[in-house]
Amino acid sequence: MSFRHIFVASIGNPSPTYSNTLHSAGHTVLSHLRVWLHTSPFRKSRIHASGLLSDDPRDPYWILWQSPSLMNISGKPVHTAWRTFLSSLNTAEERKSARLVLVHDELELPIGKIKVRQGEQSAKGHNGVKSVMATLPKGTDLTKVGVGIGRPASRESNDVAAYVMRKMTEAEVDIMADVAGQVSEIVRDMSNGVR
Listed in sequence order, the DSSP H helices in the chain are: 25-37, 75-88, 92-97, 127-135, 157-165, 170-191
- Residue 122 neighbours by CB under 8 Å, 6+ apart: none
Give catalytic residues, as residue numbers: 23
> Which DSSP symbol is given to 21?
B
Across-strand partners of 21? 167
Taking the chain, what is the end-to-end CA distance rounded to the nearest angstrom? Answer: 14
**DSSP 8-state assignment for residue 24:** G
DSSP 63: E
